[in-house]
């Protein structure tokens, strides 16, 4: 089976006053039907821009380049603006982070839901309305018919996020990109929204790219994980492998940073990664993580790191011996 979404050497460059910001640097990944890929990393690592690059929604100045970017059989790189508009929201759609700002306050949620359907399908308003009601019920909103006439400000944060999810599903997309869908919500609502996404994804057999910085969310939702740092994917793999034996020093550091109730002694120091995420501006050589890494060697600065693949569907970008990485990883996971 060929992958639903294939991205090869996808890069995003943004010209900034000091040079060129390489926000996303030659990332490779694919998403299969019915699979959830989690892009995880700290702010500024390029995970949101990766999603925007797939959707062709990048900011005006940003330049996208790739060797291959295809959805099902369609080559997304060859599409003209209008052709892309036919795909966006139809075959793939995006759920944005902040439901407070990504819904239009001047239109009712019914109008906003139906707009997508009317744009992509040759349908009547009544059909679009039925579809909107159907999906609002699907995402667990009661009295969906009367909700259509409400404005976004009349809904709570959790409800708005549900509306965003329903909107993403209006045209039964094959791929859904969810950018931090639960970050703005309370923990109690977060669980429900993630449940909902996982259930709907299973039901409609969608591929999903979930972008988050919350390792707890990753662990519970992902099938596969890609850890991003300074625009690069530094480690990819199956979710169990990533959490049980992280190979890259950055992944190991990230996992050790998270306080887990009952695992780390109270008031004990948490592991922390010293320093801050560097901005990938200008010509970049060597490993971007070397200034924060505890295993840095001379070779880290000179050689551009290749993504090694010690086992199938598993890769990490580090010069360290896999055996050393594995031992370090087990120490973190223990």
Partner 1 sequence: MNSSLVPLLDINNVWLTYMVSQGLFRSKRPLHAVKGLSLSIKKGEVLGLVGESGCGKTTLARMLLGLLQPSRGKVFIEGRLLAKEGRWALSKKIQPIFQDPYSSLNPRKRVGSIVSLPLKIHKVGDPAGWRIKAEEMLDIVGLPRRVYYSLPSQLSGGQRQRVAIARALIMRPEVVLCDEPTSALDVSVQAQILNLLIDLRKEFGLTYLLVSHNLAVVEHLATRVAVMYLGRIVEEASTDDLFNEPRHPYTRALLDSVLTPEPDLGLPDARLGMTFPNPIDPPSGCAFHPRCDRAMPECSEHVPGVVQDSLGCVSCFLYADASGQPAKQD
List of residues contacting partner 1 (CB under 8 A) = 42-43, 140, 156-159, 186-192, 194-195, 198, 213-222, 239-240, 243-244, 253-255, 257-262, 264, 266-267, 269-274, 276-277
Considering the complex, state which of residue 51 and residue 254 has its C-beta at the smaller distance from partner 1.
254
Smallest distance from partner 1 to CB 110, Å: 19
Give residue for tokens 């959490």.
243
Task: Report the chain's terminal Cα–Cα distance, integer Å.
Answer: 36
Residues 282/20, Cβ–Cβ less than 8 Å: yes
The pair of three-digit structure tokens given for residue 83, joined into one six-digit string = 């052709």
Q: Which is nearer to partner 1, 140 or 322 (CB)?
A: 140
> Residue 56 has which token pair?
């062709």
Measured from the CB atom, the residue of 26 and 220 that comes closer to partner 1 is: 220
Give the pair of three-digit tokens for residue 334: 């223990």
Cα gap 42→229, rounded to integer Å? 7
Based on DSSP, count helices (H) and strands (E) in the chain, helices before strands: 13, 13
What minimum distance in Å lies between the beta carbon of 225 and partner 1?
Answer: 9
Nearer to partner 1, 119 or 220 (CB): 220
Shortest approach of partner 1 to residue 220 CB, angstroms?
A: 5
Instruction: Give least dist CB 276 to partner 1, A.
Output: 5
Nearer to partner 1, 123 or 291 (CB): 291
Could you tell me the two tokens for 1?
């089976």
Task: Provide the minimum distance between the beta carbon of 143 and partner 1 in the complex, in angstroms, as a whole number.
Answer: 12
Nearest alpha-carbon partner for 196 in 152, 135, 120: 135
Cβ 44 to partner 1, closest distance in Å? 9
CA distance 153 to 103: 9
Task: Name every residue whose Cβ is closer than 8 Å to that of residue 274 and which is 6 or more positions away in sequence.
Answer: 292
Q: Which CB, 189 or 281, lies closer to partner 1?
A: 189
Where do runs of H (alpha helix) occur along the chain? Answer: 47-55, 81-87, 99-102, 109-120, 125-138, 144-147, 157-169, 187-204, 215-221, 239-244, 249-257, 299-302, 322-333
In angstroms, give the least distance from the CB of 262 to partner 1.
Answer: 7
- Indicate if the alpha-carbon torsion angle 61, 67, 73, 79 is positive or negative: positive
Compute the least distance from the CB of residue 38 to partner 1, in Å.
11
Q: Which is nearer to partner 1, 89 or 329 (CB)?
A: 329
Q: Which is nearer to partner 1, 117 or 243 (CB)?
A: 243
Nearest by Cα to 114 from 147, 154, 157: 147
């Amino acid at each position: 089976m060929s992958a639903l979404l294939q991205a090869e050497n996808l890069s995003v460059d943004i010209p900034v006053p000091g040079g060129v910001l390489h926000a996303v640097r030659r990332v490779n990944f694919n998403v299969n039907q019915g699979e959830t890929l989690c892009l995880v990393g700290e702010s500024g690592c390029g995970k949101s821009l990766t999603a925007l690059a797939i959707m062709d929604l990048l900011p005006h100045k940003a330049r996208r380049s790739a060797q291959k970017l295809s959805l099902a059989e369609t080559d997304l790189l060859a599409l003209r603006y209008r052709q892309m508009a036919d795909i966006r929201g139809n075959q793939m759609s995006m759920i944005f982070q902040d439901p407070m700002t990504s819904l239009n306050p001047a239109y009712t949620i019914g109008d906003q839901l139906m707009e997508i359907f009317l744009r992509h399908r040759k349908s009547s308003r009544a059909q679009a309305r039925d579809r909107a009601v159907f999906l609002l019920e699907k995402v667990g909103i009661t009295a969906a018919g009367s909700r259509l006439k409400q404005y976004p400000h009349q809904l709570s944060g959790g409800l708005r996020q549900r509306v965003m999810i329903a909107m993403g599903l209006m045209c039964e997309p094959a791929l859904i990109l969810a950018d931090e869908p639960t970050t703005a919500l309370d923990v109690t609502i977060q669980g429900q929204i993630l449940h909902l996404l996982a259930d709907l994804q299973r039901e409609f057999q969608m591929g999903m790219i979930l972008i988050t910085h919350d390792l707890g969310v990753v662990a519970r939702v992902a099938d596969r994980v890609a850890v991003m740092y300074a625009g690069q994917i530094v480690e990819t793999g199956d979710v169990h492998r990533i959490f049980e034996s992280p190979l890259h020093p950055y992944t190991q550091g990230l996992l050790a940073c998270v306080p887990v109730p009952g695992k780390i002694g109270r008031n004990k120091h948490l592991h922390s990664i010293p320093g801050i995420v560097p901005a990938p501006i200008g010509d970049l050589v060597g490993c971007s993580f070397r200034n924060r890494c505890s295993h840095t060697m001379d070779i880290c600065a000179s050689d551009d790191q290749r993504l090694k693949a010690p086992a199938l569907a598993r890769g990490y970008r580090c010069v360290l011996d896999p055996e050393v990485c594995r031992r370090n990883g087990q120490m973190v996971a223990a």
